[in-house]
Amino acid sequence: MLEKIEQIQAEIDNFRSALREEIEQFRVKHLSKKGTIAALFDDFKNVPVERKKAVGQALNDLKTKALERVNELKERAGATTTTAPRLDMTLPGDPLTLGSRHPLSLVKNEILAIFTRMGFSISEGPEIEDDWHNFSALNFPEEHPARDMQDTFFIRRSPDIVLHTHTSSTQVRDMETHPLPIRLVTPGRVFRNEAISARAHCIFHQVEALYIDKDVSFADLRQTLDYFAKEFFGANTRVRLRPSFFPFTEPSAEMDVSCSLCGGRGCNVCKGTGWLEIMGCGMVDPNVLELNGIDKDVYTGFALGMGIERVAMLRYGIRDLRLFFENDVRFLEQFAAAGIC
């Protein structure tokens, strides 16, 4: 009997496991009602009286040590198990948090919807462009300082390939491929070699519109701008144009809207002027029509381009442009109520 006790004791001392399942098997083998220790207790009645005291003590010791060992191993094993946790169907389900559109997408979609209501179709162009589409075909002469208006990212292996600096490059692709008349609106992501700050980023978004037909006049441009401004910023919005310069439009203008926050009285967003600069625009330069194979004596057109970030900042009162790109959910979830359109 003592020999058997020693044997089981050795087995208990040598047993190592971090798996709850194995530890449980070990417990059943030695400590259950039909286990080895219970069997020894059964045999105890056959032990001669004079040895009962010594064997009984050894047997009790064995049981205590076995229990201690099992408890110690179970505690260390924690939740480690080979079997999958049981599925408790009564637990409440994990909440399904619904995503929402990014504020830039919301604003872009709203701008596109306004232009499509005016009869514009949506087109898109590549982000990697050649010099011709980004500059030359838009009347940026070679080596002309106008090219410095937009600090460009060049693709190193070819100085002719750039990340497009504006969606105006798509105008060229549209003129190449689209039959006349053209009435297109183009969203896109653009790239400029700019230091990142609260007001500027090296990646941002634009929407461009191009309308080319017979007899398109500056009055058509003005009317389009007016309609857009009232639809987007509200019915009381006023529009003003200031002369400007872009190589691809002549005449060119900068469009301002009356400040939607102070109604034109002057606040810190419009820097006390009552006006907010929204976009560049103008009549397509006849040189651009010529460069793109369109008869400048028959056709005229207007073009306009605006930054989506700028418009979104004004719409939502956002002061730092970098927030759009950090994708902090605490920022993004504030636009969930703005809808999913």
β-sheet bridge partners, residue 121: 184
Q: What is the DSSP string of 186-236?
A: EEEEEE------SS--SEEEEEEEEEEETT--HHHHHHHHHHHHHHHH-TT
| Site residue total, ligand DAH (CB under 6 A) | 11
- Candidates 249, 258, 260, 300; binder of ligand DAH (CB under 6 A) is 249
Name which of 246 and 324 has its Cβ closer to ligand DAH.
246
Q: Minimum distance from CB of 278 to ligand DAH (Å)? A: 11
- Candidates 184, 304, 312, 314; binder of ligand DAH (CB under 6 A) is 304
Burial of 245 (0-12, 13-18, 19+ CB in 10 A): middle
Binding range to ligand DAH, per CB under 6 A, among 21-29, 97-105, 262-270, 298-306: 298-306
- Which tokens hold the place of 35? 């286990």
Rounded Cα distance between 123 and 78, Å, is 59
Question: How far is residue 326 from each of residues 92, 102, 307, 320, 322, measured CA to CA in Å?
Answer: 33, 11, 18, 11, 7
Name which of 232 and 246 has its Cβ closer to ligand DAH.
246
Q: Minimum distance from CB of 285 to ligand DAH (Å)? A: 9
Is 301 a binding residue for ligand DAH by CB under 6 A? The answer is no
Q: Taking the alpha carbons of 320, 325, 330, 333 in that order, is the dihedral positive or negative?
A: positive
Is 247 a binding residue for ligand DAH by CB under 6 A? The answer is no
Is 257 a binding residue for ligand DAH by CB under 6 A? The answer is no
- Residue ranges in 307-326 that form contacts with ligand DAH under rule CB under 6 A: none
Nearest to 193, CA basis, from 150, 161, 132: 150
- Candidates 123, 168, 186, 260; binder of ligand DAH (CB under 6 A) is 168
Q: Minimum distance from CB of 304 to ligand DAH (Å)? A: 5
How many helices and strands in the chain, by DSSP H and E?
A: 12, 10
- Residue ranges in 194-223 that form contacts with ligand DAH under rule CB under 6 A: 208
Is 125 a binding residue for ligand DAH by CB under 6 A? The answer is no
Burial of 248 (0-12, 13-18, 19+ CB in 10 A): buried
- Candidates 125, 188, 264, 282; binder of ligand DAH (CB under 6 A) is 282
Name which of 208 and 309 has its Cβ closer to ligand DAH.
208
Is 281 a binding residue for ligand DAH by CB under 6 A? The answer is yes
Burial of 227 (0-12, 13-18, 19+ CB in 10 A): middle
- Which tokens hold the place of 102? 């990014």
Q: Minimum distance from CB of 154 to ligand DAH (Å)? A: 17
Residues near ligand DAH, by CB under 6 A:
166, 168, 208, 246, 249, 280-282, 303-305
